[in-house]
Homo-oligomer: A and B are copies of this chain.
């Protein structure tokens, strides 16, 4: 009872506790997967209904003007900017993370082709989110210009791999598996000192940890709105380009939304200036519109407050798991050092997959990543300290009672 009392007190003292009411979370669930798909803001349904009934149904084609659909991507970008240390007019919400990665990667290589054409290496991490590596493969394979992907095994290997052949470094700020976070400013400085460009994937950062793109002098950044930003399943992603580089090159997905005169239907492509040139085709407006509901919740708090709570939640989770489950073969993968930790915590266990399934059956939703990694995301907007206690209790129960041995938890499903 002493622990439960302490957790209740932590929740009572939590200045962000009221924000949980902004979300429609199912009863009886502890949701620790907001780093994969953020929970639903209550406002989303009304916003979608408005877009479907009024803007689409009643306004029809006229909504391009009357509902300002044509500027929605950049207006949402302006709302998102302050969460990632960018300025107004520098961010667009559009397309998917992967497509935005392709655009920025291609643009970055183009910049280097002018500055330092001998630089043909794209450097990334072996343990980066695989799609980031796939898109590098896709682009280099398309270009047939001698580009080569090289991978570091650990963040600390970066310095040794940087040399005068490296054109661009693509790193994910917070690793999707380990939860390791880079020092963006120091790492970008190191990359720049070696003459390369820095492209940051913020999928597991935006809305969860402090990001200061401009202060860190980053070159490009892309990220996701459906994780910690709670934009809705598959909601369009975002893209930011340093103003120093933005107008220096085209990005190759040169569609009509990125044209300088969007509705002029001119026969030749003429990119808009600023981040608007990173737009491409017509966006899925209902999914795009709901992004605003997630972003609006951040206006009720700030990143330092979110970060304080996130660290308190992850500290508590690590402490409770390690103290209560010490007799089980669990290994902490996530850095203990605050400066290197994102907003999720991963533990390895030889039966990680089945344990995660058994936990889900008990209403504690985390997820699993190969090999052996149980991943628990702590979204400071809607996770309580009592949630952390409930999750650890459930984990202990599954481990002590070996519930995970149940064959139904062993069967691999499409999505793990």
Contact = CB atoms under 8 A, between A and B. Distances in A.
A59 to B, nearest CB: 9
B255 A60 contact: no
A235 B126 CA distance: 35
A74 interface: no
Contact of A45 (B53, B255, B416): B53
A139 B262 CA distance: 19
Contacts of A62: 360, 365
Interface in A211-240: 226, 232-237
A362 to B, nearest CB: 13
Contacts of A45: 49, 52-53
A98 interface: yes
Contacts of A232: 52, 56, 284-286
Contact of A106 (B57, B110, B142, B264): B142
A143 B102 CA distance: 14
A413 interface: yes
A265 B53 CA distance: 39
A58 B45 CA distance: 13
Most buried by B among A49, A70, A96, A97: A96
Interface stretch (A79-87, A129-137, A191-199): A129-137
A292 interface: no
A260 to B, nearest CB: 11
A144 interface: yes
A135 B65 contact: no
A124 to B, nearest CB: 10
Contacts of A24: 53, 57
Contacts of A236: 284
B31 A60 contact: yes
A37 B67 CA distance: 14
A265 to B, nearest CB: 5
Contacts of A51: 233
Contact of A414 (B65, B96, B137, B365): B65
A119 interface: no
A70 B415 contact: yes
Nearest to A49: B45
Nearest to A109: B142
Given A48-B52, A60-B37, A142-B143, A269 B415 contact: no
A351 interface: no
Contacts of A282: 96-97, 226, 233-234
Interface in A229-259: 232-237, 250-256, 259
Contact of A102 (B70, B133, B253): B253
A96 B255 contact: yes
Most buried by B among A39, A98, A284, A360: A284
Interface in A37-79: 37, 39-40, 44-45, 48-49, 51-53, 55-58, 60-65, 69-70
Given A26-B60, A56-B232, A61-B365, 20 more contacts: A37-B60, A48-B48, A55-B233, A95-B99, A97-B282, A98-B253, A99-B99, A99-B253, A131-B256, A135-B254, A139-B252, A142-B143, A143-B143, A232-B285, A234-B284, A236-B284, A265-B369, A284-B287, A286-B287, A286-B290
Interface of A: 24, 26, 29, 31, 33, 36-37, 39-40, 44-45, 48-49, 51-53, 55-58, 60-65, 69-70, 95-99, 102, 106, 110, 126, 130-131, 133-135, 137-139, 141-145, 226, 232-237, 250-256, 259, 262-269, 280-288, 290, 360, 365, 367, 369-370, 413-416
10 contacts: A37-B61, A40-B56, A56-B232, A65-B415, A130-B267, A138-B252, A141-B250, A141-B254, A234-B286, A284-B284
